[in-house]
Structure 1
């Protein structure tokens, strides 16, 4: 049978409480038993010490210092807490006993020392607590004094206490279970409200949130965590919709150009030069779509792929080689700068770092005409790579948007600089995946600086 969480909480708490109550009841019974039995044993010690110095043997006969001790009422009758006394020789043969024993005898233990305390025995149908003391006169062991007192009332008291505890125990457990079950139900009531509210939230109303109770306990933390998750989910869906819209728009433009070009070609016969121009226009649109699709695939791989394993990369030689390679391939002046004399090692995916620097260097080449500087240094104890260009710079309102997919600075669009607006989005994703801190600063007309912190 599948139990509800409320039932599980109630059962677990009841089991734990049952064990605690069992221990408490056991301790209560043991304390009462120890106390009442201890009191009886102390009474026996007093009675034994009182008589042992008054009895001795002389020529095999018992002598009493105070004979009238035997005539006390407590030795004559079986009353409340009567005292039973018997004197035996070293072999356990009875020599004399108190009248209230009648035909019964106390139990003699030949190997039992007086230091061993008292024991519980049965005389006829009555329980008694008995103590045994060695009789020694002038250094000679002469016999034993056996002293006992009734244990019936004490045993009844202990039995009644045990029965009461045994009767109370199941009643307490049942009451505890019902109480725990009720309190558990009240405790998880906020969780039921959270479940009810979250079940009502779908893709069409992701802007709704679970009401946060004014509390700092775990329920409040759970509510805030769920709302944070919904915020991230909503933002993710918004970005996905925006990305889909932007991608459709960007792909529709070259397709429209291709369609218009081909429609113009089939309207009437054209010269060879006109066909060549129109075909080149169509090929340009195809190249633009191909580049965009390649970038989209690269972005999708970054977002969906597993994190690349990290390598130990020495960034001084790494960046210097990239600068030299790009200068050779592009013919642009790309300068490597550093003031560091010792190798600088970082833990990073080498493949990701290559893609990041490729995009940043290609953007610097695209948006500037002067030299490009790649600089490596230690700043505040942190290895840093700087990519500096002397281009037109980025407008202040565009700084926060340049890492968004398909975003392009309006000035770049006005100057018809080719691009898809995906390069920096890929850079940001790769940096997040690799644990690289990326930031940018720019001044209009002075160029831009991208910083990579490890």
Structure 2
């Protein structure tokens, strides 16, 4: 059976208190039980000393002296605090028994060699008995002495105490259950409030947050954690909306250009040269769409899957030369010089494929956004294991640096309109760096250039 959270709290607390109460009641009953029987056993022991004082023996025979001492009232009556005495020899023959035993006999262990106490019944009266071996001068057992006293009063006290404890225990559990249920209801009231508030949050009011309880407890921490989750979801939600809007805008531009070109071509016949020029423009816009498609697909794969880096010791110079060679045509077209001063012995721990993709983006940007006849500087700092890629472009304003890694973000759209790209490359590079625990840092000075740094883990 599945219990609600409130009932589980009440049940667990009830079980804990019930266990402690049961232990306390058992201890109380045990103390009273021990005290009651210890008092009876002490009385029996005292009586034993008096009886032994009236006994004598001759070898294996027990001789009873001072018979008048044994005619006391306590040995004659049964109803009021009687004391019962029985003496037997080695053969089990009764040598003496008090008058109040009448026709009854105590059961005894003929092989008993030490003092023992036990309970018995005489004429429906509960008796506490003590059996003592009788020794002669040679320390040989020559008989058994059994003394009994009424334990009816102790039994009644213990019996009544047991009934009271059981009834009290049941009553306490019954009352505690309702108290615990009430306390549990009060304890989880803030949780119900959180559930009620959370159930009202959807995409139309995703900026809503859960109310924080006054007490700085675990429920407060839960509400705070959920609010932090909502913050991340809200950011992701708006990023997705912005992503959709930006992607639509980026696709709309080349599509509109292609549509305009085709409409112009269809208005009247054109010369072959005119058709060739227009078709080259269509091809350029188509390539732009194709590049956008590939980057969007790559970005979607990076964000939707759990990437795992296959770490290897990589010669950094080799992979940088490969990335530079990948952009040789672009470098030559823009008249850019490459100043690569990475020592040949530098090794880094990274995924070769992912690192090459990162360097492709950084070197490509350094070439595209550099000044004419500018230089791209590639250097290595061995102290903090940092690779730097620096260009001599016009730089980026400080307040725009945090936006560089946002998807589709491009600084100074008017200036960048003639530079191919969609503003996704740095987002991809950032994601690939996170997978490899590489810190990607950007620094820029207006009219001097921009530096991207890759700080590798130690």
With structure 2 as the length reference, what TM-score do the two structures score? 0.89
- Which of 337, 341, 357 matches 1:337? 341
The aligned counterpart of 2:123 is 124
CA distance in 1, matches of 2:271, 2:344: 63
CA distance in 2, matches of 1:169, 1:5: 25
Measured at CA, do residues 144 and 415 of structure 1 come closer, stay the same or move farther in structure 2, by a change above 3 Å?
closer
Q: Which moves more between the two structures, 323-332 or 424-433?
A: 323-332
CA distance in 2, matches of 1:326, 1:269: 41
SS in 2 for 1:122: strand
Q: Which moves more between the two structures, 30-39 or 199-208?
A: 30-39
Does the alignment pair 1:244 with 2:244? yes
- How far residue 326 of structure 1 moved from its aligned partner, in angstroms, is 4.6
SS in 2 for 1:392: coil
The aligned counterpart of 1:229 is 229
CA distance in 2, matches of 1:142, 1:295: 110
The aligned counterpart of 1:191 is 191
Q: Which moves more between the two structures, 324-333 or 149-158?
A: 324-333
What aligned pairs does 1:36-55 form with structure 2 within 5 A after superposition? 36-55=36-55
CA distance in 2, matches of 1:452, 1:35: 82
Tell me if structure 2 keeps the 8 A contact 1:261–1:278.
Answer: yes
- How far residue 412 of structure 1 moved from its aligned partner, in angstroms, is 6.8
- How far residue 23 of structure 1 moved from its aligned partner, in angstroms, is 3.3
CA distance in 2, matches of 1:304, 1:134: 90
Measured at CA, do residues 378 and 158 of structure 1 come closer, stay the same or move farther in structure 2, by a change above 3 Å?
farther
- How far residue 280 of structure 1 moved from its aligned partner, in angstroms, is 1.8
The aligned counterpart of 1:157 is 157
Measured at CA, do residues 254 and 337 of structure 1 come closer, stay the same or move farther in structure 2, by a change above 3 Å?
same
Structure 2: stretches of 5+ with no match in the other structure: none
What aligned pairs does 1:266-345 form with structure 2 within 5 A after superposition? 266-322=266-322, 325-326=325-326, 330=331, 333-338=337-342, 344-345=347-348
The aligned counterpart of 2:137 is 138
1:177-198 CA distance string (max 9 Å, x none): 2222221121111111111111
- Which of 361, 379, 383 matches 1:379? 383
Measured at CA, do residues 275 and 344 of structure 1 come closer, stay the same or move farther in structure 2, by a change above 3 Å?
closer
What aligned pairs does 1:27-42 form with structure 2 within 5 A after superposition? 27-42=27-42
Measured at CA, do residues 328 and 244 of structure 1 come closer, stay the same or move farther in structure 2, by a change above 3 Å?
closer
What aligned pairs does 1:45-124 form with structure 2 within 5 A after superposition? 45-58=45-58, 60=61, 62-64=63-65, 66-115=66-115, 117-124=116-123
CA distance in 1, matches of 2:114, 2:91: 16
Measured at CA, do residues 324 and 354 of structure 1 come closer, stay the same or move farther in structure 2, by a change above 3 Å?
closer
The aligned counterpart of 1:446 is 448
Tell me if structure 1 keeps the 8 A contact 2:320–2:359.
Answer: no
Tell me if structure 2 keeps the 8 A contact 1:323–1:335.
Answer: no
With structure 1 as the length reference, what TM-score do the two structures score? 0.90
Measured at CA, do residues 318 and 171 of structure 1 come closer, stay the same or move farther in structure 2, by a change above 3 Å?
farther
The aligned counterpart of 2:351 is 349
1:211-247 CA distance string (max 9 Å, x none): 1112221110111111111111111111111111111
Give the aligned CA root-mean-square deviation in angstroms: 2.5
The aligned counterpart of 1:433 is 435
- How far residue 88 of structure 1 moved from its aligned partner, in angstroms, is 1.6
1:367-425 CA distance string (max 9 Å, x none): 12433233344434xx3322222332222222111111111111772572222111111
CA distance in 2, matches of 1:429, 1:120: 84
CA distance in 2, matches of 1:280, 1:62: 141
1:4-51 CA distance string (max 9 Å, x none): 322233233333443443333333322322221122112212221232
CA distance in 1, matches of 2:440, 2:414: 22
CA distance in 2, matches of 1:412, 1:295: 22
* Matched residue count: 448
Tell me if structure 2 keeps the 8 A contact 1:89–1:95.
Answer: yes
- How far residue 2 of structure 1 moved from its aligned partner, in angstroms, is 5.0
Measured at CA, do residues 327 and 417 of structure 1 come closer, stay the same or move farther in structure 2, by a change above 3 Å?
closer
CA distance in 1, matches of 2:222, 2:297: 37
Q: Which moves more between the two structures, 238-247 or 411-420?
A: 411-420
CA distance in 2, matches of 1:273, 1:324: 36
SS in 2 for 1:308: coil
1:77-101 CA distance string (max 9 Å, x none): 2254322112221222111222222
Structure 1: stretches of 5+ with no match in the other structure: none
- How far residue 306 of structure 1 moved from its aligned partner, in angstroms, is 2.5
CA distance in 2, matches of 1:340, 1:150: 105
Measured at CA, do residues 318 and 33 of structure 1 come closer, stay the same or move farther in structure 2, by a change above 3 Å?
farther
1:351-377 CA distance string (max 9 Å, x none): 222211111111111112433233344
